[in-house]
Amino acid sequence: MNIGIIGLGERSSWIASLLLQAEQGVNIRAIADRDAERAKSKANARSIDTESAIFYSDADEMLDNERLDGVVIGTRCSLHTTMALKALKRNIPLFLEKPVATTMDDWHLLNEAGAASGSDVVVSFPLRVSSLVTLAKEIVDSGKLGTIEHVQAVNNVPYGIGYFQSWYRDAEETGGLFLQKATHDFDYINHLLGIRPVRICAMKSKQIFKGDRQAGLSCKQCEENQTCPEGHEMKRARGESVSDNSMCCFAVDGDNEDSGSALIQYETGMHVSYSQNFFARRGAAARGARLLGYKGTLEFDWYTNKLKVFMHHAARVEKYDLNTDEGGHGGGDEVLAKNFIRVMQGREASVAPLDAGLLSALMCLKAKQSAETNAFLSLD
């Protein structure tokens, strides 16, 4: 199988390496990237054969010239839809990085193109196929907890500083932090519940990473580099990684909020509460949910890799410790890579279809709009 990659970044190169590991006969045939040298460096770091791969600077040229069995899109977020439209038009199986769209205009274009295309799409939603969610889904579907009538979900991101000191600080590029993080969480919640969300409201705040430092200021240029808690010296003292390209997270040009929350109503009348935070660190890290039914409550957390079931009408708590040696995203990345291979072979349906990506993106876009307008919004 010959695979083409559009935008060879950190994520797409990781997925490419998993595809190569998953099955013999997979070949990275072509790579389209505007920065060929950087792409070759990234490919070499992932043991992708740069001698046999053909490099292009233009995605259309690659798609027109090569006979590809599948395409992986790993550009920056604002180009996901634009590049996906090219593959969908050619009916090529597609592995699409999240978020699938960063604006409502792109969302509509992708929705229409997906409906008209013969492409099978695997959206990069590894959490829905991780070991924790797979087990949770099995328990929820068994009826053991009763019907799930309330969900409390949280994502406290211990590496959240990256959304303020790198290119992720540009909301025009990313679509904002609901689309960056909550898109995963909204998707696995939808997957577990199996019912459709109908209404959403949200709130976000910027209480920590704000200030009056000049736009474009980098950490190494700042006179407070030695004493700033997010400066190089303080980070090194805490044993944290340091990048020479770090931007000041207290400058006026940082777009992102540092926390956000959403309430989501579903078609049955039940609701979900979700909250994400980007300044929690170390042991405060958390990502998971509590799902409450009348008969019992289930909770899990990816940082502990544990799942518990609390029965409501019996003195019983069930505890599950999952394998801590799993790969990326609790083993979900490997599942997606193998699924994409079988989708290209015509042996399986996508475990993370485009409809799921569109629904999650719609929820995130409406959450962002709600937070900016103080309104409940329909998810029609």
Give the DSSP letter string of 119-139.
--EEE--GGGGSHHHHHHHHH
Q: Can you tell me the mean pLDDT for 226-234?
A: 90
Separation of CA 168 from chain center = 13
Task: Show the domains of the chain with their CATH numbers.
Answer: 2-124+336-352 (3.40.50.720), 127-209+256-328+359-378 (3.30.360.10), 210-253 (no CATH)
Angle between helices 131-142 and 183-193 (to 10 degrees): 30
344: its two tokens: 């290209």
Question: Given strand 286-293, what is the order of strands in its sheet?
Answer: 317-321, 306-311, 296-301, 286-293, 148-156, 271-277, 259-266, 197-205, 377-378
Q: Extract long-range pairs of 219-228: CB within 8 Å, 24+ residues apart.
A: 219/165, 219/246, 219/247, 219/248, 220/244, 220/246, 222/248
Question: Hey, CA dihedral for 338, 339, 343, 348, is it positive or negative?
Answer: positive
* Nearest partner of 46 among 69, 74, 68, 66, judged by Cα: 74
pLDDT value at 147 more than 90: yes
The single-letter DSSP state of residue 273 is: E
* Nearest partner of 356 among 149, 162, 122, 153, judged by Cα: 122
pLDDT value at 315 more than 90: yes
User: Measured between alpha carbons, how far is 165 from 169 in angstroms, rounded to an integer?
Assistant: 7
Q: Can you tell me the mean pLDDT for 166-192?
A: 95
The predicted structure's pLDDT at residue 153: 98
The size of the chain, in residues, is: 380
350: its two tokens: 């996508």
The predicted structure's pLDDT at residue 311: 98
The tens digit of pLDDT for each residue in 16-74 reads 999 999 878 899 999 999 999 999 999 999 989 889 999 999 999 999 999 999 999 99
Angle between helices 354-373 and 104-116 (to 10 degrees): 160
* Nearest partner of 177 among 300, 261, 264, 272, judged by Cα: 261
pLDDT value at 268 more than 70: yes
In single-letter form, the type of residue at position 70 comes to G
* CB neighbour list of residue 44: distance below 8 Å, 6 or more residues apart: 50
pLDDT value at 232 more than 90: no
Q: Can you tell me the mean pLDDT for 196-201?
A: 98
Do 291 and 297 form a contact (C-beta atoms < 8 A)?
Answer: yes
